[in-house]
Amino acid sequence: MANITDVARRAGVSPTTAKRAINNPELLAPATLKRVKRAIAQLAYEPDQRAAALRSGHSKTIGLIVGNIDEPFFASLIRVISRTLRAQGYTLLVADNEYDTRNELEQLKTFQRNRIAGLILRSGYGKPNLKYVQRMKANDTAVVEVDFLMPESPFSHVMLDNTRCMKLGLEYLHSLGHKRIATLGSYHETILPDERTKAFPELMADLGLAVSEAYERIIHPTSAEAYRITHELMNLPEPPTALFATTGNLASGAFQALRERGLELPQDISLLSFDNYPWTHMVAPAIDVIAQPVEDMSIAAAEMIVREIETPDRPAEQVRFPGTLIKRGSCAAPQAMNVIV
Amino acid sequence: MANITDVARRAGVSPTTAKRAINNPELLAPATLKRVKRAIAQLAYEPDQRAAALRSGHSKTIGLIVGNIDEPFFASLIRVISRTLRAQGYTLLVADNEYDTRNELEQLKTFQRNRIAGLILRSGYGKPNLKYVQRMKANDTAVVEVDFLMPESPFSHVMLDNTRCMKLGLEYLHSLGHKRIATLGSYHETILPDERTKAFPELMADLGLAVSEAYERIIHPTSAEAYRITHELMNLPEPPTALFATTGNLASGAFQALRERGLELPQDISLLSFDNYPWTHMVAPAIDVIAQPVEDMSIAAAEMIVREIETPDRPAEQVRFPGTLIKRGSCAAPQAMNVIV
DNA sequence: TTTGTTTATGGACACGTGACCAGTATTTTT
DNA sequence: AAAAATACTGGTCACGTGTCCATAAACAAA
């Protein structure tokens, strides 16, 4: 690979002068600038970003860790963040923790070895890595959390207003007459502490509804798990009349289980889900969802990390985005039989 | 950030000795090794990968450019390649060219500036960047193409056996009695030269079927384009009796257009698609698809790039994977009315 | 002219590491 | 006992760049 010395030699100038053709062209005599630029073009010279970052102390690389790329929410997140950051001159390292804290620790170390300037993190559940991230932050790595907060997280974040969204959904189901509502989500305070599941019992109480303990199952947010749990729930003596899935992939598993059991939406059971995924309006009936403003959130996270990098020591910025309830036909009043029970 | 000199100072040894605790621990006296290791742990030292790569000339970073992360095929590709390469100690830079050659050129330059060791490329259509990639290759960047070949590509690749898959699909549709078959794909030889669309006319001829020129529309592989084109095709005086979508996202757009028109699958029209996406078996009827072995292809690509990096100057390795036709119910014999016409 | 100022260019050094060579103490061989 | 081999440790340099300082020529101000 050509370096700036090769360029300088070909242009008949010193390396310092050659470098100025890129970093401070206004300092050069027009004729010199032209000669150097031609040499750069002829050699297809591209500056070595690693050396630049090493010397200057300013990395132009940002690390992004998501929960699971196969979840379309995260795919969009990557796409939009990647595009936004590239426009600002940053390069993106991507990792997928598969919701596993141990994967995540390895990935954080890899990022650390590459001396990223900033970290956008959708942490795997739990707080085992909180200290590690705090140390990165202390070493001048900017940190922004997205979609999920590590417990006691002191960092900036971009989040959905999860509690309000849960409220929106539950009030909707309640207004239809549902009493036996099951939330498909994580149910373990320390291992899987997501805000949506956490808000569920309290919001139910506000509506004067009881939460059946039989409905609480600790699961990882995969379609396969939701499929399994849905079968279990529907086998209970008092099965739920409405399912509320906290992610789109959970809804997908639930949908498949319900159809397999021959249950018709919305007569036999109601299904409500987070995430406005394409399939939700392709099935019949289309699924009622709480849509997240993924693009806006992604852009906000990207712009936030840039601010954190370029003006350090700013107070943590914590932003919440609202979700939107879209009614399509997968929810209705529970069957009379169920209402009586 | 702590560096090896800090570690050395704390352990009371020279930097050279301290570094050996990581790179050549067998050379150190047990007591020394222990002291250095403790210092490393206390400082949470992680070697600077940029400096290491700069000095050694061996980068541990690999660049991956995909067509569109929102296409689940590419999401899986990223996930599996990322996991496989991490296990081998490589870090992944990800970019999404959005099927646009100009984006791609910028991304290639960014990769070049980061001195990636290898490039896994799903090129945007066309060959404008072929020369640039060839120059990277000449400068010792390993190159593997996936899913798509740049025209006259001399590189290693991992591909689906597209022609055979098209044959599989068309023979299936032919066996059901279809004559008016439209392929949703790109139709421009130089701008959008994908193998699937390209193989279509010849395979139709082999089956003794005519290709209606009215069915040939140049499109980008997005769901929105397929939606639009499907409406156009169905408005023709002689609409197709079967649609063959060359990607899952195209099928998704087509499906929505067909449903909007009140057409029932498979009675009114047959739909066949590449890519076994989750939604294809959630809709009713489930969609017949040609499934790609995404995981196997991703692992193959990841392992191939590592081989190319670690043993340079090897001949190009070009691998084809077979697809599988899965019949589910979205294809049937064309209606009598249509057969007669 | 003299002095100061601007314009255009070049040189020295350090970032953190890996490669290589050099040294000293200790052990083994003859 | 001397020589040789081994075990362990330290020092020097370069990778390609950005930062800072130095120099020479041209020009402006006195």
Side-chain-side CA neighbours of B268 within 13 Å: the count stands at 11
Give the mean model confidence (pLDDT) for residues B309-328.
95
Contact between chains at A282 and B283 (C-beta distance less than 8 A): yes
- pLDDT the model gives residue B187: 64
Considering only alpha carbons, which residue of chain B is nearest residue A251? B282
Q: In whole angstroms, what is the distance from residue B229 CA to residue B249 CA? A: 13
- pLDDT the model gives residue B151: 78
Q: Average pLDDT of chain B?
A: 93
User: Quick check: B173 and B244 in contact, CB under 8 A?
Assistant: yes
- pLDDT the model gives residue A341: 38
- pLDDT the model gives residue B100: 86
CA distance A257 to chain B (A): 10
Q: Which nucleotide is nearest to A5 (CA to C1')?
A: D16
Query: Per-residue pLDDT for B299 more than 80?
Result: yes
Q: Where are the beta strands (DSSP E) in chain A?
A: 61-66, 91-96, 118-121, 142-146, 156-160, 181-184, 242-245, 270-274, 288-291, 318-321, 324-326
What the block records as the tokens of B198 is 């390209």
The number of residues in chain B equals 341
Q: In whole angstroms, what is the distance from residue A44 CA to residue B299 CA? A: 32
Q: Is A208 helix (H, G, I), strand (E, B) or coil?
A: coil
Nucleotides of C under 7 A from a protein CB: 7-12, 14-20
Whether B29 CB is under 7 Å from strand D? yes
- pLDDT the model gives residue B202: 92
Burial A200-232 (b: 16+ CB within 10 A, else e): bbebbeeeebebbeebbbebbbbbebbbebbbe
Give the mean model confidence (pLDDT) for residues B62-81.
96
Whether A14 CB is under 7 Å from strand C? yes
Looking up tokens 């570094």, which residue turns up? B19
pLDDT in tens, B146-178: 999 887 889 999 999 999 999 999 999 999 999
Sequence-distant (6+) residues with CB within 8 A of B170 are B181, B200, B203, B204, B207, B244
Q: How does strand A118-121 pair with strand A142-146?
A: parallel
Residues 38-57 of A with CB under 7 A from strand C: 51, 54-55
Q: In whole angstroms, what is the distance from residue A99 CA to residue A107 CA? A: 12
- pLDDT the model gives residue A100: 86
Q: What is the 3-state secondary structure (H, E, C) of A16-60?
A: HHHHHHHHCHHHCCHHHHHHHHHHHHHHCCCCCHHHHHHHHCCCC
User: Quick check: B243 and B217 in contact, CB under 8 A?
Assistant: no
- pLDDT the model gives residue B220: 81
pLDDT in tens, B115-139: 999 999 999 877 789 999 999 999 9
Q: Is A73 exposed, middle or buried (0-12, 13-18, 19+ CB in 10 A)?
A: buried
Whether B27 CB is under 7 Å from strand D? yes
- pLDDT the model gives residue B128: 82
Looking up tokens 């384009």, which residue turns up? B225
Q: Computed over its alpha carbons, how large is the radius of gyration of chain B?
A: 26
Below-50 pLDDT ranges, chain A: 339-341
Q: Is A264 exposed, middle or buried (0-12, 13-18, 19+ CB in 10 A)?
A: exposed
Sequence-distant (6+) residues with CB within 8 A of A338 are A180, A241
User: Quick check: A47 and A22 in contact, CB under 8 A?
Assistant: yes
pLDDT in tens, B219-258: 788 899 999 999 999 999 999 999 999 999 999 999 999 9
Sequence-distant (6+) residues with CB within 8 A of B245 are B183, B184, B185, B226, B251, B254, B271, B272, B273, B274
Q: What is the dihedral of CA A327, A331, A333, A337, to 10 degrees?
A: 180
Query: Per-residue pLDDT for B192 more than 80?
Result: no
- pLDDT the model gives residue B190: 53
Whether B51 CB is under 7 Å from strand C? yes
CA angle A320, A326, A328 (to 5 degrees): 165
What the block records as the tokens of B320 is 């084809």
pLDDT in tens, A252-276: 999 999 999 999 999 999 999 999 9
Give the mean model confidence (pLDDT) for residues B42-59.
96
Residue A104 (CA) to nucleotide D13 (C1'), in angstroms, measures: 38
- pLDDT the model gives residue A203: 95
